[in-house]
Chain A
Amino acid sequence: MEEAKAYIESGILELYVLGQLDAPEQEEVERMATLHPEIRSEMAAIELAMEKYAMEKAVQPKPQLMNKILQQINAGETLAEPEFKEAVVTPLTADPAPKSLKPLQFALAACLALLAMSIFALYTTHSRLSDANQQLIVMRQDREKFAATVNFMKDENKDLQQINQITTDPTWAKVKLAGTQISPKASLMVYWHKEGKHVMLDNASMSLPENDKEHQYQLWAIVQGKPVDLGVFDADSRPKKVLLDMKAVGNAQAFAVTLEKRGGSPGPTMEKMVLISSI
C-alpha cells in the first residue's frame, strides 16, 4: 500500500499519461498498474482529466476532412506504424555511415573511374609523345643529312666551277700523274698555279686503289732533284671534296705519289711510288 502511494505521488503516472516515458519506464508503470489496483484507478482518473482538458481545448478541423480520411481508409492506404519503427534494433554503437556512405561510395567509384581514364589518357599521350619525339629525331637527322648533302653539293659545284675555270686558265698548270710499274692503271690530275704556289688534287679524276687505315698516299714535288712533301691524302671511292688543297710549292720539276704510313713520312719510300709525272 505504502509502495503504491509513494509511486502515485512520484508523479510518474502523469508522465506516463503524457507520453513522456521511454519503453522500459512504460513497462514498469504498466507492471505496477497490474499489481496495484489503486495505481490503475489513479491512472484512469489522470487520463480522464487530460481527456476532458483536451476536449475543452479542442479546435474543430474542416468538416470535409472526415470524407478524405474515409476515402484513404477505403483505398487501403497505410501509414507507417510507429511500432514497427520501434521494433528495429539499433545498436548503441550504431554506425551512421551507411546512409551517408552511399553517395560517398558513388563518388569513390566515380573517382576511380576518372583515375583509370586519366591514367589511360596519360599513357596514350605519353606514347604519342615518344613517337613524336622519335619522329622529330629522325627528321632532324634527315635534315642534317640534307644540309650536309646540300653543303657538299655546293662545295662540289664550287670546285667543279673552279676546275672548269682552271682548264680554261693558262696560268694554271694541269699536271697529269701516270701509274708506275706497281700500279699501271693509276692516274691523278694535279692543278698547279706556279705564281700562286697553289697545288690542288682533283679527286674527281683520281684513279687509285683505296688505301687502308694504316696507310695514306703522300704527294711529293721534285724540286731540284729532291722530294718535297706536299701533304697526304686518301683515295676514297666517295671523296668529301672534289678539289683538295695541298701544300704550296712554286718551283717543281715533277710530282710523285707514294704510299706511306698514315700521316706521311719525311722522305718518300721509293719502292711504293704509285704515280709520277714529268713536266
Chain B
Amino acid sequence: MAELVRQTVYSIPLAATTKISLTEEQLVQGLKAQDTAAIKALYEQYSGALMGVIIRIIPIEEIAEDLLQDTFLRIWNSTRHYDPSKGRLFTWMMNIARNIAIDKYRSKDFRNGGKNQNIENNVDLINETNEVIFNADTLGIKEMVTKLKPEFNEVLEMVYFKGYTHVEAAEELSIPLGTVKTRIRMAIMELRKHFN
C-alpha cells in the first residue's frame, strides 16, 4: 500500500497546483508505513482545517503555526496509536490539534506572554479579521449557521472551535449540562442536514 501511495503521489507533477487527494484508507496506510508522501498529502488536505481550530484558540499566527507543526509531528509519531475502527482519521487529528492548542493556551509561558486575552475575545477577533482574509469561501457556512438557532450554534462553536469543554461551556452560559449536550446534538443535526 505504501507503494501505491508513492505511485499516486509521484504520478502528479510537482509543479501541479492540484491538491493531492488520497482516500482516508490510503492516508492511514501511508502514515502507518511512515511514508513522508502520506504526511504531505495529509497536510495538503487537512492543514487548513486543523489551523482553523488552532488559530481560534491561539490567535497569534506565528504561535498557531508552530502548534500546527507540532500537531503534524505528533500525528506522524503517534500513527501507530490510531485505530481506524474507533473513528475517522480527521476526528483523531482534530482532537490532537485541539489538545495541543489548549495545552498551549493553559501553559505558563503563553499566559505570561501578556498576549492572552479572554478566550472569547480571541475568537471574536479572529472571526472579525483572519477568517475573512484567509477564508472568504466560508460565506456559505455563515449563511447556514445563521439559520441555526444562535443558542445551539453558540455551544457547538465554544466546544469545537474555542477550546471549551462542554462542562466549562455549561458553566459559562449558566445552563445545565444536559441542555449543553442537547444543544450540541441539535446543532450537529442541523450541520448534517446542511452537508447532505
Contacts and interface: CB of A to CB of B under 8 A. Distances in A.
B49 interface: yes
A73 to B, nearest CB: 6
Q: For B39, B85, B96, B160, which residue has the most chain A Cβ atoms within 10 angstroms? A: B160
Contact of B87 (A47, A53, A57, A74): A47
A161 B116 CA distance: 104
B192 interface: yes
B68 interface: yes
B36 interface: yes
Interface in B81-137: 81, 85-88, 90-91, 94-96, 98-99, 130-131, 134-135, 137
Contacts of A122: none
A11 B184 contact: yes
A60 to B, nearest CB: 5
Contacts of A62: 65
Given A18-B184, A72-B69, A83-B81, A50 B94 contact: yes
A11 B185 contact: yes
**Which of B73, B81, B138, B188 has most A Cβ within 10 Å?**
B188
A61 interface: yes
B87 A43 contact: yes
Interface string A63-89: 001101110111001110111000000
Given A61-B47, A61-B68, A79-B77, A73 B39 contact: yes
B160 A60 contact: no
B87 A60 contact: no
Contacts of B52: 54, 57-59
Interface string B13-47: 00000000000000000000000100110011001
Interface in B165-180: 165-166
A52 interface: yes
B70 interface: yes
Contacts of B47: 60-61, 65-66
A59 to B, nearest CB: 4
Given A60-B135, A77-B73, A79-B73, A55 B49 contact: yes
B9 interface: no
Contact of A49 (B76, B85, B138, B188): B188
A17 interface: yes
Interface in B147-176: 159-161, 165-166
Given A45-B192, A50-B94, A62-B65, A81 B77 contact: yes
B78 to A, nearest CB: 5
Contact of B134 (A56, A60, A77, A78): A60
A60 B165 contact: no
B5 interface: no
Contacts of A55: 48-49
Contacts of A59: 48, 51-52, 55, 130-131, 134-135
B188 A50 contact: yes
A57 B185 contact: no
A59 B136 CA distance: 10
Nearest to A27: B86
Contacts of A65: 47, 65, 68-69
B8 interface: no
A83 B90 contact: no
Given A16-B87, A50-B91, A51-B94, 19 more contacts: A9-B185, A10-B181, A14-B188, A17-B91, A19-B91, A50-B160, A53-B160, A57-B52, A57-B131, A58-B49, A59-B51, A61-B47, A61-B51, A68-B69, A69-B39, A69-B43, A69-B69, A82-B74, A83-B81
9 contacts: A10-B181, A14-B181, A50-B91, A54-B53, A56-B140, A57-B138, A59-B131, A65-B65, A74-B36
Interface of A: 9-12, 14-20, 30, 33-34, 43-62, 65-66, 68-70, 72-74, 77-79, 81-83
